[in-house]
Amino acid sequence: MELIWEGLVKAFYLLMALDPEVLEVTWLTLKVSGTATLVSVLIGVPLGAVLALGRFPGRNFLVSLANFGMGLPPVVVGLWVSIFLWRSGPFGAFNIIYTPLAIIIAQAVIASPIVTSFTLAAIQQINPRIRLQLLALGANRMQMLWSLVKEARLGLLAAVMAGFGGVVSEVGASMMVGGNIKGMTRVLTTATVMEVNKGNFDVAIALSVILLGLAYGVTALLTTLQQWRNQR
């Protein structure tokens, strides 16, 4: 209990003192994971909608892949993204490895199947008669799709929350593709692991508390938006 208390006190001190390194790591964590979540939404929502509404050969296989992707081990994603981004890899000429962009790519790969599967489930729960009514009223395919997305907005916000929660807390992929470089690619999860390895458990607990606070703050904001939409 004494160690936990020391960690809580340390977290309070680091935040109140506006420690530059902690603020930098926290901001990078929010920026990287937020951007990765946005990318996953841009990929996952259209893909989930297509899988929910389309009927074509191989659809069930793609749905199973999306569901399987929800459980992708981050270290496996980190390994494969690293292979592609290494200087000897297909995209090595772009010098992306060990940069924040590399972490964004890895986290987007992790989050995209989550957003896709949540979107698929949200749209499939809509009564099929609504789709027929929209078409009968003269809506084209894009108008119908936009109306269904608005109808499934609560589920889509849940998809965003799940996607963000899946990437802000991961450490394996961020460590492998980012390298945990101070001032460049060090985020809260990798910084916590580093402090544990150094034996600075009070600092590690402090960073974990800050990470939990950051994750809860974003989730609470999205939840408030979700419930406000639901009450309108």
Confidence of residue 1 (pLDDT cuts 50, 70, 90): low
pLDDT in tens, 62-93: 999 999 988 889 999 999 999 999 988 899 88
> Cα(132)–Cα(158) distance, rounded to whole angstroms?
26
Q: Which amino acid belongs to residue 49?
A: A
CB atoms within 10 A of CB 141: 10
3-state secondary structure 155-214: HHHHHHHHHHHHHHCCCHHHHHHHCCCCCCCCCHHHHHHHHHHHCCHHHHHHHHHHHHHH
| Tokens found for residue 181 | 């470089």
Give the range among 111-115, 208-212, 225-229 with minimum mean pLDDT: 225-229
Segment 121-150, tens digit of pLDDT: 888 887 777 766 766 666 677 777 777 777
Span 30-46, mean pLDDT?
94
Residue 216 pLDDT greater than 70, yes or no: yes
Nearest residue to 170 (alpha-carbon basis) of 146, 148, 182, 187: 187
Contact 164, 179 (CB under 8 A): no
1.10.3720.10, 1.10.645.10, 3.90.960.10, 3.40.50.2300: which CATH number matches 2-231?
A: 1.10.3720.10
For residue 3, pLDDT beyond 80: no
**Position 50: which residue type?**
V
- Cα 177 to Cα 37, 83, 163, 165, 202, distances in angstroms: 17, 9, 19, 19, 27
Q: What is the pLDDT of residue 164?
A: 93
Is residue 45 a contact partner of residue 113, using CB atoms and an 8 Å limit? no
**Every domain of the chain and the residues it spans:** 2-231
Q: What is the mean pLDDT of the chain?
A: 85
